[in-house]
Amino acid sequence: MKFSTFLTLSLLVIPAACGISESHRRHSARVKQRPRLQYSEAHNTHDTNGPPSVASERSHSSTSLASSFAADTGINVAGLYTAAQNSRSKTLASYPTTPQRKTYSNIYGDWLNLTGSVSAFHFIADMDVDCDGPKANCKGNRDGQSETSFGALDATKVPYFVLPERFTKDYKSLLMHNALGAIICNGKMFYGIYGDQDADSPQVIGEASILIAQTCFGNTVDGNNAHSQADVAYIVFGMQVPKGVQKSSIDLAALKSLGDSQALLLQKALGL
């Protein structure tokens, strides 16, 4: 009798466990991390007067890698940031920056048809922390996954950013996997790749690997303590993919080379 009861319970439990596993695999993105500092009701727009000054604190690992994917000093970062703030005539989509949906960020396509062999879309948002890949579950984040959307990028070594899954499907003709991006934060610009998707409900915008987050805002940023101010510019060169992107790693020299090249073309096309 005990054996029969145990067998019956086992048959009931196994399918349920399989269902959970399958659901987990279908959920292609990470859960958006909630920042400890929430937006005030007055802070309900993504516009700011300009990028704030550079943070003084950096984690040791972020500092040692930062120069490898930082923009060349000859690039007009302040000019690009101002241009991103002012180029808002063609809205492609709009997504909340937090699960509470107090603040929304628009994705703009004003720069998709510029002259000079350069094309990009952009948005300004906050920066939550993605801790996936081989070293998942960074401090403050207990739901990290071992894989990212197109591989298993190491969030501590690869500068990547996250986009809402729905947007990537709606505009798949404008966006390749691992596409180049330029992120302006704290008055500096760094390069990364589109390496992960957010399929949570609601799908939110403004997230990057912990390497980028700590490079921008110091080692106080972690999986549960994000940068909550919507003052980070994300410029995505959707059809440009740097060489050397592997399952869990990236060629940072190739990333920087392509990033500087595209940033200079964009700067010229915008007349900066």
Where along the chain do its domains lie?
36-269
Q: Is the pLDDT of residue 133 over 90?
A: no
Q: Is the pLDDT of residue 153 over 80?
A: yes
pLDDT band at 61 (very low <50, low <70, confident <90, very high): low
122 and 111 Cβ atoms separated by less than 8 Å: yes
Written as six digits, the tokens of 208 are 């990057």
3-state secondary structure of 42: coil
Report pLDDT for 233. Answer: 98
- Rounded mean pLDDT, 156-170: 96
Average pLDDT, the chain: 81
The rounded distance, in Å, linking the Cα atoms of 150 and 132 is 12
Q: Is the pLDDT of residue 131 over 90?
A: no
The mean-pLDDT minimum among 36-45, 168-177, 208-217 falls in 36-45
Q: Is the pLDDT of residue 11 over 60?
A: no
List all residues 6 or more positions away from 154 whose beta carbon is below 8 Å from its beta carbon.
133, 134, 135, 248, 249
pLDDT band at 200 (very low <50, low <70, confident <90, very high): confident
Report pLDDT for 7. Answer: 37
The mean-pLDDT minimum among 30-39, 122-131, 207-216 falls in 30-39
Count CA within 13 A, CB hemisphere, residue 190.
Answer: 28
Report pLDDT for 49. Answer: 43
Q: Is the pLDDT of residue 8 over 50?
A: no
Q: Is the pLDDT of residue 53 over 50?
A: no
The rounded distance, in Å, linking the Cα atoms of 206 and 95 is 9
pLDDT digits (tens, 9 = 90+) for 223-245: 778 899 999 999 999 999 999 99
C-alpha closest to that of 195 among 232, 245, 243: 245
239 and 265 Cβ atoms separated by less than 8 Å: no
Q: Is the pLDDT of residue 64 over 90?
A: no
Report pLDDT for 34. Answer: 38
Give, as one character, the DSSP assignment of residue 33. Answer: P
- This prediction's pTM: 0.79
3-state secondary structure of 76: coil
pLDDT band at 206 (very low <50, low <70, confident <90, very high): very high
Question: Percent of the chain, pLDDT > 70?
Answer: 74
Report pLDDT for 147. Answer: 83
List all residues 6 or more positions away from 270 whose beta carbon is below 8 Å from its beta carbon.
79, 80, 83, 111, 114
- Rounded mean pLDDT, 124-132: 92
Question: Percent of the chain, pLDDT > 90?
Answer: 62
The rounded distance, in Å, linking the Cα atoms of 173 and 95 is 20
pLDDT band at 140 (very low <50, low <70, confident <90, very high): low
The rounded distance, in Å, linking the Cα atoms of 217 and 184 is 12
- Rounded mean pLDDT, 18-23: 33
List all residues 6 or more positions away from 258 whose beta carbon is below 8 Å from its beta carbon.
180, 191, 240, 242, 243
